[in-house]
Structure 1
Amino acid sequence: MNPRTRHAVWPGLAGDIEVSIDEPTEALRGLAVVAHPHPLFGGTKDNKVVQTIARAFLQLGLVTVRFNFRGVGQSAGVHDHGQGERDDLVNLVQRARSELLPAELLEQPVALAGFSFGAFVASHAAQVLRSQGVPVGKLALVGTATSRFNVADVPADTLVIHGEVDDTVPLDTVMQWANRQQIPVMVMPGVEHFFHGKLPQLKDMLVRYYPA
Structure 2
Amino acid sequence: MPDVIIPGPEGRLEGRYSPGEADNAPIALICHAHPLGGGNMENHTSVMMYDIFRKRGFATLRFNFRGVGRSQGSYDQGLGELSDAATALDWVQAYNNNAPFSWVAGHSFGAWVGMQLLMRRPEVAGFISVAPPTNMYDFNFLAPCPASGIILHGSEDKIVPYDDMERMMSKVRVQKGIEIEREEVPGAGHMFSNHLEELEKRIETYLNRRLPIVIEERKNQRPRR
| TM-score band w.r.t. shorter chain | 0.7 to 0.9
Could you tell me whether the CA contact under 8 Å between 1:52 and 1:202 is conserved in 2?
no
Correspondence 1:84 to 2:86: no
- Tell me what 2:131 maps to: 143
Q: Deviations over 1:16-53 (max 9, x none)?
A: 000111246x5463110000000011100000011111
> What pairs up with 1:116-195 in 2 under 5 angstroms?
116-130=108-122, 135-151=123-139, 152-153=141-142, 154-155=145-146, 157-181=148-172, 183-195=180-192
Identity of aligned residues (%): 29
Query: Per the alignment, do residues 22 and 156 of structure 1 end up closer, same or farther by CA in structure 2, a change over 3 Å counting?
Result: closer
> What pairs up with 1:53-132 in 2 under 5 angstroms?
53-99=49-95, 101=96, 103=97, 105-106=98-99, 108-130=100-122
Count of matched residue positions in the alignment of Structure 1 and Structure 2: 199
C-alpha distance in structure 2 between counterparts of 1:184 and 1:110, whole Å: 19
Amino acid at match of 1:127: M
Query: Per the alignment, do residues 156 and 178 of structure 1 end up closer, same or farther by CA in structure 2, a change over 3 Å counting?
Result: farther
Could you tell me whether the CA contact under 8 Å between 2:108 and 2:131 is conserved in 1?
yes
How big is the alpha-carbon RMSD for the aligned residues of Structure 1 and Structure 2?
A: 1.6
TM-score, normalised to structure 2, is: 0.83
C-alpha displacement of 1:78: 0.8
Could you tell me whether the CA contact under 8 Å between 2:18 and 2:60 is conserved in 1?
yes
TM-score, normalised to structure 1, is: 0.88
Gaps of 5+ in 1: none
Gaps of 5+ in 2: 174-179, 213-225
Q: Mean Cα displacement is larger for which, 73-82 or 52-61? A: 52-61
SS of residue paired to 2:152: strand
Amino acid at match of 2:119: Q
C-alpha distance in structure 1 between counterparts of 2:147 and 2:88, whole Å: 25
Could you tell me whether the CA contact under 8 Å between 2:5 and 2:13 is conserved in 1?
yes
Q: Mean Cα displacement is larger for which, 27-36 or 167-176? A: 27-36
Q: Deviations over 1:112-143 (max 9, x none)?
A: 1110000011111111223xxxx111111111
C-alpha displacement of 1:184: 2.9
